[in-house]
Structure 1
Amino acid sequence: MTAAFPTPATRERSRVALVTCEIFPDLWEGDFPLRDALRSRGVEVDAVGWADAGADWDSYDLAVIRSPWDYVARRDQFVAWAHSVPRLLNPAGVLEWNTDKRYLAELANAGLPVTPTEFVGPGEQWEPPADGEWVVKPTVSAGSQDTGRYRLPAQQALAEAHVTRLTAAGRTAMIQPYLAAVDETGETALIYLPDAGGALTYSHAIRKGAMLTGPDEGAIAPGSERIDPRTATAAERAVAERVLEAVPGGAGRLLYARIDLIPGSDGSPLLVELELTEPTLFLKEGGDAADRLAEAVIARL
């Protein structure tokens, strides 16, 4: 299924906005392949900041969310903006659902293999486990902002302070066990893009090495992770496809999806995040992925 949008008045060339932010006004470099693939096909492409008050979104045949990574501190404004854009992919309803990681609870309740997660909201108290390694982060974040790893009981005070700092700011904290397999096996990110018929299909995968080494030290700079190509296993693809089937409204309206998995204690893949808003798609590691994504964009015009 493909999304159908009304288009602006006919013009000689289609216009596409690749949505970014003030930090990367000319796009994050990982999106250059998509930009170039679209331009090579005769599409006029602009990098446009989502918060640019002067942007004329009606003038574009399509706006494609790519790197609006500064939305975290003003998510409500970002969601309102998304609903105001007439032709947006991924669509605003998906972004609203996916930009708050409490969606993980919905997926877990649907029976999907999700990393066990405890949520602590403003005014609530967290009872730390007696021991183990735990990850604390906010439910609204990007680029590992405000995320830390804590060894209990030695770092219990630091972990509690992190949770309190988030909830005191009106944010919801989420606490997950640190999945030790990431230290050796790494995290697998599976990228799904539309095939020639418009159906979201497995494209490629990469391996990300472990990034969290200790308490919260601020955001991890884009591109600083160790990235290697990887072929997803049958078990990983099976989990990823079950996750996509659970997306509200169906996966047919998505232009892209990234599913991040880490093996649990028994070796089975566990969902860490379902990235539908602004994921790096690792197009350089995906062979002809940029060309296929460009064709999918053109098919939606």
Structure 2
Amino acid sequence: MTSIALATAADLPGLVDDDASFLAALRERGVTAEPVVWSDESVDWDGFDAVVVRSIWDYYRRPAAYAAWVDRLSDADCAVWNPTATLDWNSHKFYLRDLADAGVSTLPTEYVERGDDVSLEAVFERRGWDELVVKPAVSAGAFETRQLSRAEAAAAQPWVDDLVAEKDVLVQEFAPDIEDGEWSLVFFGDEFSHAVVKRPEPGDYRVQEKHGGSVHVEVPSETLLDNARRVVDAVSAHLGGDPPLYARVDGVERGDDFYLLEVELIEPELFFRTDDDAGDRLAEALLARL
């Protein structure tokens, strides 16, 4: 019988509720599927046929432990999805530069390496921006992320200096489009599954539900779907393999173009609760690869 570990965080030992339909779909197909805490060093990953990374939502707070775990999975005698090379690449947001170089539309961004000098006032002047967002390259859920106006640059400079002293950082032009909604388009392999639009609370830019954001089921246009597919294709081309088992393409529409904010390949919420068949689709895509 096929045995699959669904990697999760210590404070989510039973996975998140949203993944329940995927877990049920695997078990209905005769698969032994169980949540397993990624940071539990006693786990023998060789004892599973496959590991599917799901709700490891604390990984960015423990980057050294996460890197060591990915190395363990690389050496383990089991399949891993998404593959460890993908997990490694996608954990650091400088991957956006790779996709931009491949022709994917991304927000104008300055990539600041740890220890470099960066002046917010100089960035505003050079770029001509009115607002920007500062975020660590290893982060999730708006962790250590701030939206700043030109008038706030001087007061925020000490915070930025402290951040850059410890971490690689992205300084991005603020996208006001996000107030109208951020698309999340979910793909299993190279097949589109379903989509939602996440909207922030009025006056905020953070779309996560823990920050007051809301999720709405909407149907993307064919133009939007084509743009999202190009992101998945660019990921596959860059990594030199099959399409990711799962990918969540997040971004905003501007006319006929789509600006990528993130492509989530590690532990994205896949919004199974918004589509009754999504869990079955991912289960079938997974078993087809075993």
Number of residue pairs matched by the alignment: 278
CA distance in 1, matches of 2:81, 2:171: 30
Matching residue of 1:115: 107
Matching residue of 2:13: 25
Contact 2:223/2:256 (<8 A) preserved? no
Q: CA RMSD in A?
A: 2.3
Tell me if 1:176 matches 2:178.
Answer: no
Judged with a 3 Å threshold, the aligned counterparts in structure 2 of structure 1 residues 287 and 226 are, in CA distance, closer, same or farther, namely same
Contact 1:255/1:297 (<8 A) preserved? yes
CA distance in 1, matches of 2:169, 2:30: 46
CA distance in 2, matches of 1:229, 1:40: 26
Residue 220 of structure 1: how far off its partner (Å) = 5.7
Residue 79 of structure 1: how far off its partner (Å) = 2.7
Counterparts of residues 126-141 of structure 1 (less than 5 Å): 126-128=118-120, 129-130=124-125, 132-141=130-139
Q: Normalised by the size of structure 2, how large is the TM-score? A: 0.88
Q: Normalised by the size of structure 1, how large is the TM-score? A: 0.85
CA distance in 2, matches of 1:269, 1:179: 12
Matching residue of 2:153: 156
Structure 1 gap segments, 5+ residues each: 1-12, 195-199
- Superposed CA deviations along residues 78-100 of structure 1, whole A, max 9, x for unmatched, are 13322322321000001111100
Judged with a 3 Å threshold, the aligned counterparts in structure 2 of structure 1 residues 83 and 269 are, in CA distance, closer, same or farther, namely same
Instruction: Calculate percent identity across the aligned residue pairs.
Output: 35
Judged with a 3 Å threshold, the aligned counterparts in structure 2 of structure 1 residues 111 and 215 are, in CA distance, closer, same or farther, namely closer
Secondary structure of 2:138 counterpart: coil
Judged with a 3 Å threshold, the aligned counterparts in structure 2 of structure 1 residues 268 and 107 are, in CA distance, closer, same or farther, namely same
Q: Which has more helix, going by share of residues?
A: 2
CA distance in 1, matches of 2:155, 2:269: 31
Residue 42 of structure 1: how far off its partner (Å) = 1.7
Secondary structure of 1:252 counterpart: coil
Matching residue of 2:249: 259
Matching residue of 1:269: 258
Matching residue of 2:227: 239
CA distance in 2, matches of 1:213, 1:67: 29
Secondary structure of 1:22 counterpart: coil
1:282 to 262, 268, 271: 271
Secondary structure of 2:14 counterpart: coil
CA distance in 1, matches of 2:215, 2:209: 13
Secondary structure of 1:55 counterpart: coil
- Superposed CA deviations along residues 193-221 of structure 1, whole A, max 9, x for unmatched, are 13xxxxx21111100113695799xx966
Contact 1:149/1:213 (<8 A) preserved? no
Structure 2 gap segments, 5+ residues each: none
Question: Residue 18 of structure 2 aligns to which amino acid in structure 1?
Answer: G
